[in-house]
Amino acid sequence: MERSAEQVRENYKRITDRIGEAMAKYRKPEEQVQLMAVTKTVDPALVNVAVECGVRLLGENRVQEYESKKAQYDPRAQVQFIGQLQTNKVKYLIPEISMIQSVDSLHLANEVERIAARADKVQDILLEVNIGGEESKGGIPAEELHGLLEEAARKPHLHVCGLMTIPPKTDVEKYFFRMQKLFIDISAENMDNIDMHVLSMGMSGDYVEAIKYGSTLVRIGSALFGARG
Ligand SMILES: *Cc1c(COP(=O)(O)O)cnc(C)c1O
């Protein structure tokens, strides 16, 4: 698929139509899902076409790429970080980044806390869960999530807003179901300083299924901007 403004406008229309259909089919009328445009390898001018269409959330994977593009983004969009994050790069994201979705270890949570404290900011974060237990992927194993939540909840400059995941490619529904269950169970615990309102799951190939299992934020790259080269 070629990358053009016209194509992005068409894709945006198709995606928002499908999201609307999925929400009508699977969810309560008062529920909502946010559409994040994932910007990796995409020219900022084309990212801004998506913002012009109505996208208000951008997702960044790489710190360096974000640094080189951020000044050109339409300021109507908020930017969140969704990629694997090395602790030594956290300082480049705070205070601008509105949410870091990919916190997956105590080591990383400690560094986000330290840098956020220095910036006098309470940083919104999600905890990323490796729900399929895949070696190659980021995220904390589901069995270790509770411990990390308890640690994060004690940190004054972290605000845990929910969970994020990238499921294995096969059997996605099984993994989305497990995430939904984790999310609901943790919400029901009403832990102090843990605010479970974001369940970030669903990408170009599986966002309809993710909506079926309670996603509140879908992260879409290639279906919106075209395939990455
Ligand atoms: C690239 C990426 C996406 C979007 O993937 P597409 O399949 O292109 O929609 C979503 N989430 C994360 C964490 C990504 O790295």
Model confidence pLDDT, tens digit, residues 164-197? 999 999 999 999 999 999 999 999 999 999 999 9
pLDDT value at 104 more than 90: yes
Residues with beta carbon inside 6 Å of ligand 1?
38, 40, 61, 82-83, 166, 203-205, 219-223
pLDDT value at 30 more than 70: yes
pLDDT in tens, 204-224: 999 999 999 999 999 999 999
| Ligand 1, atom nearest to 164 Cα | 13
- pLDDT of res. 229: 73
CA 146 to CA 60: how far, in whole Å? 26
Q: What percent of the chain has pLDDT over 90?
A: 98
Nearest to 217 by CA among 83, 38, 73, 11: 38
pLDDT band (50, 70, 90) for residue 92: very high
Q: What is the mean pLDDT of residues 59-76?
A: 98
How far does residue 189's CA lie from ligand 1's centre (Å)? 30
- pLDDT of res. 170: 95
- pLDDT of res. 3: 86
Atom 12 of ligand 1: nearest residue by CA position: 82
Assigned CATH class of 2-221: alpha beta
Task: Name the one residue in this structure whose structure tokens are 């939904």.
Answer: 180
pLDDT value at 1 more than 70: no
pTM of the model: 0.97
Q: Which of 203, 220, 222 to mutate to test ligand 1, by most ligand atoms within 8 A of the CB atom?
A: 203
Tokens matching residue 63: 């710190």
What's the chain's average pLDDT? 97
- pLDDT of res. 2: 63
How far does residue 193's CA lie from ligand 1's centre (Å)? 29
| Ligand 1, atom nearest to 203 Cα | 9
Q: Which of 14, 163, 179, 219 to mutate to test ligand 1, by most ligand atoms within 8 A of the CB atom?
A: 219
DSSP string, the chain: ----HHHHHHHHHHHHHHHHHHHHHHS-TT---EEEEE-TT--HHHHHHHHHHT--EEEE--HHHHHHHGGGS-TTSEEEE-S---GGGGGGTTTT-SEEEEE-SHHHHHHHHHHHHHTT--EEEEEEEETT--TTS-SEEGGGHHHHHHHHHT-TTEEEEEEEE---SSSHHHHHHHHHHHHHHHHHHT-TTEEEEEEE---TTTHHHHHHTT-SEEEESHHHH----
Q: What is the mean pLDDT of residues 129-146?
A: 96
CA 140 from centre of chain: 15
| Ligand 1, atom nearest to 82 Cα | 13
